[in-house]
Structure formats: structure tokens, C-alpha cells
Amino acid sequence: MSMIERVYEKAKRDPKRVVFPEGDEGRTLLAAEKLYKAGICVPILLGNVERIRAAAAEAGADIAGIETIDPEKSDKRPFYIQSLYELRKAKGLTLEQADRLVSDPMYYGILMVKLGDADGLVSGAVHTTGDMLRPALQIIKTKPGIRIVSSSFLMNCPNPELGDEGLLVYADCIVNPCPTAEELAQIAVTTAATAHDLCGVETPRVALLSFSTKGSTEHELVTKVREAVRIAHELAPDVLLDGELQPDAALVPEVGASKAPGSPVAGRANVLIFPDLQAGNIAYKLTQRIGGAEAYAVLQGLAKPCNDLSRGCSVQDIVNTAALTAVQAR
């Protein structure tokens, strides 16, 4: 069974409520139908109900039985406005601004998750990453004990000798443009947990990547990665974690043995931590496009799960992301 099939099975055991702020978007509606009929989650569609119905008819989606909510007309609207105001008044948000924001299905959906009326959220078929991420960071905030939200890309590679039977978990490829050493350490530890809890990797082996392996080069960028390794060991002494490592030393047993002898990670890494967002984002796209890997993205470190799609996503991508969101919500 592939990693994503295992995720479907887990999600079906305890279907969670996943809200879609882009409720009048054709691919989202087709995905909602599949998710509902397969029992992977309980989808909730946000938007003007007439527009949702018209979009469903145009897309050929059967949404009978799926809950739809219009943020403009919902009974919960006054409660959501007051809640948003209370959450953000210290940051200068006024009641009038809160009233306007609650009309936006993105804010309404994020408030549903925050206030327990949904278990998770999926968007991004229309909106950009920042459109969802900013309100999620402002309203849902981080899990207790976690200071930074980041992302993992679950890369299902055709070569089963890589990582965990072909699965490699990459971070951070979406959120943090220039993480500090402390932030990189937190990303490494959080990603190990995602690999274990969400992907079923029994023993995450975390490599913090660089253009240097174990002191082969001296540069301030390398020093940052080395410092991140030191901090990550303090944060999570039980996690198998090493660096700085070049990707070949992290992944290829013979190279790892020669460049980093004695490392518990080198040559057998299944979690790869990139030093910044440029490296991470480029690496995942190259692995997908040149390496032929399937790529699934999740945000990690948020107190409740919200996940982003690419605007070029397929119906299947939305189904996969919703299934991952439902499992994160368990």
C-alpha cells in the first residue's frame, strides 16, 4: 500500500470535517463529491449558495448531501465577528474591519477551524499561498511548544532504495524564506514528527543539508546549518539527526560512509532539511519534474491543520490534500 493509500485508510476510520473556502470552484466541487462519497472526510463548502450550485452544475459535480455555508448569511456570523475582533484587537483590528473580513470565505473558514466548527481547511485552487497562510498564522497560531509554522513535502520517489522505501520528506519548501539557525532546528524537529505521525516512517533520519559535509567547507551559511544541528539535538535528543551533509552524503550509503563515517543518518536519510526556502522550493520541484516523484504538501506546526494547494492543482491533488488534512486533524 502506498503512503497516500495508507492516509486514505486512516482518514476513513474517523472522518473529519474539512472546510473549503473556494466552494464555488469546479475542481474543488468535484473533489468534494469524491471525498464525500468515499467517506474520506466530511466536506463543507463556503460561498454564495446559488453560485455554488451553478458551479457544481457546470462542473458536473453531485454535491447532494454536502453542507454549504454562506458567510454573509450564516447564523454564526455575529459570533465569528466578535471572536475575530477579540483575537486581533490588540493588533489594531476594529469591529468594522472584523465584520468585513468575516464576509471573506477564507477568514470565515479559518475561524470555523479556530472555533471548532471544522477540523481542518484546504484552499489554494484560486488563492495564493500567502492569502491563506497569513490569516492562518494570525488566527490559528502555532501548536503549543512550537514557535514556527513550516511545511513538509512528502516526495514519493520512483527509486525504492531512497529514503523510506522511496519516500523522502522535504522541508521547508513553502513558508519561511530565510530561517535562522533556531528556526531551522525547529523545522527539523517538526518535520521528523510529520514523517513519523503522518507518513508512518518508523525511524525518521533527518539530514540538515548544505554544500559542505562535516566541515569540508567553511562559510557563514555552513556555520548556520551546523548551529541548527546543535540546537536541534538539544530540542529533541532522541531524534536521529545529523549535518551538515551534502545530499549525496545524506542519501547514498557509500558516499555517506566515506564523507561522514559513523553518522546515524548519512547514506540513509529519509528527511531532508534545506537551509532556506530557495533551496527547498527548487529541490522539490526538480525532484518532481526531473526525478518523477509524486509530491504532497502539508503545513506543520499550526495548532489546527490548514493546507494549501497549487493553483494548477488537479481534482486528485485536492482529494489527496484533504485526506492528509483529515489525518492531521485526528
- CB closer to ligand ACO, 94 vs 310: 310
174 binds ligand ACO (CB under 6 A): yes
157 binds ligand ACO (CB under 6 A): no
Binding mask 60-99 for ligand ACO (x = CB under 6 A): -------------------------------x--------
Which cell is 104 given? Answer: 471573506
Among 45, 140, 149, 315, binds ligand ACO (CB under 6 A): 149
Cα 243–300–265 angle (5° rounding)?
20
**Residue 174 phi, psi dihedral angles, 5° rounding:** -125, -40
Nearest residue to 30 via CA among 295, 317, 299: 317
Among 45, 46, 118, 175, binds ligand ACO (CB under 6 A): 175
**Residue 305 phi, psi dihedral angles, 5° rounding:** -75, 130
176 binds ligand ACO (CB under 6 A): yes
- CB closer to ligand ACO, 203 vs 310: 310
Which cell is 166 given? Answer: 522511496
Which of 10-18, 128-136, 221-229, 268-276 is the region at the interface with ligand ACO (rule: CB under 6 A)? 128-136
Which of 59-67, 109-117, 141-149, 186-194 is the region at the interface with ligand ACO (rule: CB under 6 A)? 141-149
Total residues interacting with ligand ACO, rule: CB under 6 A: 17
Q: How far is the CB of 217 from ligand ACO (least distance, A)?
A: 27
Among 133, 140, 157, 231, binds ligand ACO (CB under 6 A): 133
CA distance 253 to 255: 6
Residue 130, number of CB atoms within 10 A of its CB: 11
Check whether the bond before 5 is cis (ω within 30° of 0).
Answer: no
137 binds ligand ACO (CB under 6 A): yes
**Residue 22 phi, psi dihedral angles, 5° rounding:** -95, 60
106 binds ligand ACO (CB under 6 A): no
Q: How far is the CB of 309 from ligand ACO (least distance, A)?
A: 9
Q: Which amino acid is at 26?
A: G
**Residue 149 phi, psi dihedral angles, 5° rounding:** -85, 140
Residue, CB closest to ligand ACO: 137
Binding mask 294-313 for ligand ACO (x = CB under 6 A): ---x------------x---
Each residue of 60-99: b (16+ CB within 10 Å) or e? ebebeebbbbbbeebebbeebbebbbebbeeeebeeeebb
- List residues binding ligand ACO (CB under 6 A): 91, 129-130, 133-134, 137-138, 142, 148-149, 174-177, 281, 297, 310
